[in-house]
Amino acid sequence: MRSIVIEDHFASWRAASLGALAEGLAPETIEWRVKQEPESPQEQALFDYGATSEEAEPRSTAVHVSKELAALLQDAALYRESQRWAFLYKVLWRWHHGDRAAASPADTDGARLHRMAKSVRRAKHDMIAYVRFRKQTSASAVQTPEYIAWYEPEHDVLAWAAEHFAQRMGRSTWMITTPRGAAFWDGQQLHLEQRRALPGDHRCDTADEAETLWLTYYRSTFNPARLNEAALEQHMPVRFWKGLPEGHLIPAMISEAKSGARRVAQASGVGALAGKTIPIEADMAQPARDQPSSLDTCRRCDLWRNATQAVGSSGPSDARIMLIGEQPGDQEDLSGQPFVGPAGQLLETAMTRAGLSREQVYLTNAVKHFKWEPRGKRRLHKTPGQREIEACSYWLERELHTVRPAVIVALGATALTALLRGKVSLSDHLDAPFGVQGGWGIATYHPSFALRQQADADREKVLAEISNALIRARELAESATPTATKQQQ
């Protein structure tokens, strides 16, 4: 075994990894150890794309990685785990020796790498969202910063967040303290140090005028009649309350809402008013409304209430192949683009195997809003119901009419149900193409089904099925001339 001692930051690990690769050291032959008192990391590029790093580091080897893997490694390096450096070297070793699956979410190591990077990115978002500065009335320009904040990040994202605040707070001096270190901005330069937390670090009992105004405003916006504790804890997890000025107000307001404030806020007398009952059919009870002109204004079902935004389509309007998924996922809901999460990356792998690219196909979903249910701090996917599929058929029909693809690939049972306008079995349509919309239809599994497989062999089998379906779609699209397809439609 070779023992390699590094400082606990990415730049030190990178230099040691390049040296280890140059010597041909396999991951299982290295014991990674961290210095007890690491120095603050200096800014350094991840890798020099397309060039070797031999000039900068004497005993190193050339490493060529994709930008996606570079970003994953750099984010995962901030993941708070004792074995992170050994794991990251294992991924880099596999990639350097030609095993590109190491960065795929369908691979065991790739899935772990993606989970680590996603958790770190969430920790970055949380720190930006939940750090609260308090102005110090006795601050001096030399010794004490004007603003102080205490925060407990889940991962080692202090340096990243400090750069964010340094770019946005001008020449005001500030300090963020955490259990593992502190960041200080003197108005011109950022200083970072790693240390143990001191007793009382998290206490800051003096509220400034702006904070008092904020608490007054926060109380005034609270509507007990619309209290939804699950949604509140989803968007503002309980673990952050102790660091927020308004945190101590929330339990009391929830208690008041449960003990009668809800009834006070409601116009309860309206329901007791007498009136004449008029019999009417349920279908006629809703007034006629104009059809929505854009996805952003769509209210045909209730999914828009809990979604960040509607997610449309991507791809050329004259594409020969249309791929229909089920609904947007968590990352699609945040970005507004279809198939950008782990399932989308797996779909791109299948398309590459089939000789297709994103620029050639039209990507969309049967349902345009993310349907989910809270599970701790996560939003878990929930399968759309038949009513929601039918409500979104308005948009899918418009897309089919506009694009007029020669081949339509339904990814999963929900997409197939939306395409055939009725409840159908996916297994009954997997073996052969079928006629639909004046062209060909092909049914296959949704990429998320592959992600749910525990064994690598099972995951690869599902991925192969999806790739074969896309190959059939490409062959059918190439054999059907555009003119013939338009005449059929």
Of 72, 101, 121, at which residue does a domain stop? 121
Distance CA 129, CA 150 (A): 13
Which domain does 39 fall in, by range? Answer: 2-121
- Kindly state whether residues 425 and 309 are assigned to the same domain: yes
- 261 within domain boundaries: no
**Strands in 263-370 per DSSP E:** 321-325, 361-365
N residues, the chain: 489
Distances (CA, A) of 207 to 133, 248, 252: 10, 13, 19
Terminal Cα-to-Cα distance of the chain (whole angstroms)? 68
- Kindly state whether residues 155 and 72 are assigned to the same domain: no
- 284 within domain boundaries: no
- For residues 383 and 485, the model is more confident at 383
The count of domains in the chain is 3
When mean pLDDT is compared across 48-57, 113-122, 257-266, 470-479, the lowest value belongs to 48-57
- Kindly state whether residues 339 and 479 are assigned to the same domain: yes
Helices 67-76 and 108-130: crossing angle, nearest 10°? 60
Split at pLDDT 50, 70, 90, the class of 319 is very high
Q: Are strands 30-34 and 2-6 parallel, antiparallel or unpaired?
A: parallel
Q: Is 123 helix (H, G, I), strand (E, B) or coil?
A: helix
Q: Is 1 helix (H, G, I), strand (E, B) or coil?
A: coil
What does the CA dihedral 99, 100, 104, 106 come to, rounded to 10 degrees? -50
What does the CA dihedral 197, 198, 203, 204 come to, rounded to 10 degrees? -100
62 burial type by CB count under 10 A (0-12 exposed, 13-18 middle, 19+ buried): middle
Q: Is 368 helix (H, G, I), strand (E, B) or coil?
A: coil
**Span 392-444, pLDDT tens digits:** 999 999 999 999 999 999 999 999 999 999 889 999 999 789 999 889 999 99
- Kindly state whether residues 117 and 174 are assigned to the same domain: no
- Kindly state whether residues 408 and 428 are assigned to the same domain: yes
**Strands in 186-282 per DSSP E:** 190-194
- 116 within domain boundaries: yes
Does residue 102 contact residue 110 with C-beta atoms inside 8 Å? yes
- Kindly state whether residues 203 and 307 are assigned to the same domain: no
CATH code, domain carrying 397:
3.40.470.10
- Kindly state whether residues 137 and 77 are assigned to the same domain: no
Does residue 339 contact residue 446 with C-beta atoms inside 8 Å? no
- Kindly state whether residues 84 and 169 are assigned to the same domain: no
Q: Are strands 174-178 and 181-185 parallel, antiparallel or unpaired?
A: antiparallel
- Kindly state whether residues 96 and 208 are assigned to the same domain: no
Of 99, 121, 143, at which residue does a domain stop? 121
- Kindly state whether residues 116 and 212 are assigned to the same domain: no
When mean pLDDT is compared across 88-97, 199-208, 226-235, 394-403, the lowest value belongs to 199-208
Distance CA 390, CA 408 (A): 18
**Span 97-143, pLDDT tens digits:** 999 999 999 999 999 999 999 999 999 999 988 888 888 765 444 56
- Kindly state whether residues 300 and 406 are assigned to the same domain: yes
- 360 within domain boundaries: yes
Site of tokens 């809270």: 374
- 231 within domain boundaries: no
- Kindly state whether residues 114 and 177 are assigned to the same domain: no
Question: Per residue, what are the HEC states of 179-207?
Answer: CCEEEEECCCCEEEEECCCCCCCCCCCCC
- 406 within domain boundaries: yes
- 154 within domain boundaries: yes
- 254 within domain boundaries: no
Q: Whole-model pTM above 0.75? A: no
